[in-house]
Amino acid sequence: LARIFPLAGVTTNPSIVAAGKTPLDELLPALHDALGGKGRLFAQVMATTAEGMVEDARKLRAIINDLVVKVPVTAEGLAAIKMLKAEGIPTLGTAVYGAAQGMLSALAGAEYVAPYVNRVDAQGGDGIQTVIELQQLTRRSQRCWPRALKPRVRRWTACWQAASPSRCRWTWRSSLLPL
């Protein structure tokens, strides 16, 4: 696919990896090679404690050193995101079901947020509205964020505006939003 389509990155999760039955130490390098040196590779931690997530992240980064680590945005996940940020390991806050949850992941130090648009819709919510609220929340919060965070929020806002999700609701099912 990378030969035909312009790919910005590849993401995977534990259930996809388990279904494929290819060990991570083989799968991640293959995915990284498929990107041809372009785009980001994302892989998720499995542990449920902050310390375990940090250890998982280190193991994933030992396989692919420029990998972005996906961390579920739970209380333990937020603690892990903060610890990984301190180590210079980039993260994606995943399993985000609400704007406030996404904002917390950004404040903890996540470089990306992955709202579960399709799952929010399946549960009777409005996934696109959740993303819009996250965008609005980050805009309002820019005033009180440290200077270092403001450029990331502006970059996220520009990426979001360029995506124009309101015009493609029927295809907009999952999103990786850079902050």
Q: Which residues are catalytic?
A: 70
Burial environment of residue 161 by CB neighbours within 10 A (0 to 12, 13 to 18, 19 or more): exposed
Gap between the terminal Cα atoms of the chain: 26
Query: Which spans in 35-149 are helix H?
Result: 50-63, 75-87, 99-108, 117-122, 127-141
